[in-house]
Amino acid sequence: MNEHQPFEDLRKSEGEGQEYWSARELAPLLDYRDWRNFLKVLSRAEQACQSSNQAIADHFVETNKMVTLGSGAQREVEDFHLSRYACYLVVQNGDPTKPVIAAGQTYFAIQTRRQELADDEAFKKLREDEKRLFLRNEMKEHNKHLVEAAQQAGVETTLDFAVFQNHGYQGLYGGLDQKAIHQRKGLKKSQKILDHMGSTELAANLFRATQTEEKLRRDQVSSKKQANKTHLEVGKKVRQTIKELGGTMPESLPVPEKSIKQLETVAKKLDKK
């Protein structure tokens, strides 16, 4: 994880192990040399935080920092303590033409989601089947948003969307398209791939879907060709991050014994009881 290690190297902790990043230290790492320009990025990130119904004060804490001037003297300057979520919003609202911003967008998105799930005690207590049902429902919801974003980008027909989806799968699954994944999993043509994934594989696909949707909208993609390329690139980035985190590649993960449909049937029977 060498290319992403500097992000973690800047992490600090205070009482009760709460982590934060200094905006002053993060700015040059994200290739922002002018603090005034970085303040504009922070402002957009705060607006995004508020739009997500999160309290800005919980993620962007105003503070001061002592810096050493060229003369050796020190003076106090404005700073912010940023939560991991705030850092995620900062890179999402940064200049995507900067290579370090592009890398950070994938990295913080995945790390933030991993932390959310790790912190969710209720999620921890769920059995694997329940995790699968939860993530599959999340996937259904986010696929709707992805379809909408793709349509706005010029992906119009059913065939267009099938091609678009294949690009995402090929990026995430090392070149395998939907048909090849079906064959690898031993599925029938009528069976949906997402219904035969474990929670880890579903989570990887959820990252792919959410990040592709955001990138299509953020970059204002307006052609089928560019939309397909975007989906392929996001899939590849998610795959690369899984590799850097030491995870198992999605195509190598085991196929669960029961499908989502079977799990839903069992859940309905239990609800009736």
Range of the domain at 234: 128-264
* Domain presence at residue 80: yes
* Domain presence at residue 114: no
Read off the pLDDT of residues 131-165 as tens digits, 9 standing for 90 and up: 899 899 999 999 999 999 999 999 999 999 999 99
Shared domain check, 260 and 135: yes
Shared domain check, 216 and 145: yes
**Across-strand partners of 75?**
67
Helix (H) or strand (E) holding 195: none
Indicate the pTM of the whole model. 0.57
* Domain presence at residue 273: no
Read off the pLDDT of residues 29-57 as tens digits, 9 standing for 90 and up: 999 999 999 999 999 999 999 988 889 99
Shared domain check, 79 and 180: no
Domain stop point among 89, 117, 144:
89
Q: Give the mean pLDDT of the chain.
A: 88
Average pLDDT over residues 2-28: 81
Shared domain check, 246 and 142: yes
* Domain presence at residue 254: yes
Read off the pLDDT of residues 70-90 as tens digits, 9 standing for 90 and up: 777 788 899 999 998 899 899
User: How many domains does the chain divide into?
Assistant: 2
Shared domain check, 136 and 69: no
Query: Residue 128: is its pLDDT beyond 80?
Result: yes
Percent of the chain, pLDDT > 90? 63
Confidence of residue 5 (pLDDT cuts 50, 70, 90): low
Shared domain check, 242 and 139: yes
Rounded Cα–Cα distance for residues 30 and 99 (Å): 9
Query: Which regions of the chain does DSSP assign to beta strands (E)?
Result: 12-13, 19-22, 60-68, 74-82
Do 247 and 207 form a contact (C-beta atoms < 8 A)?
A: no
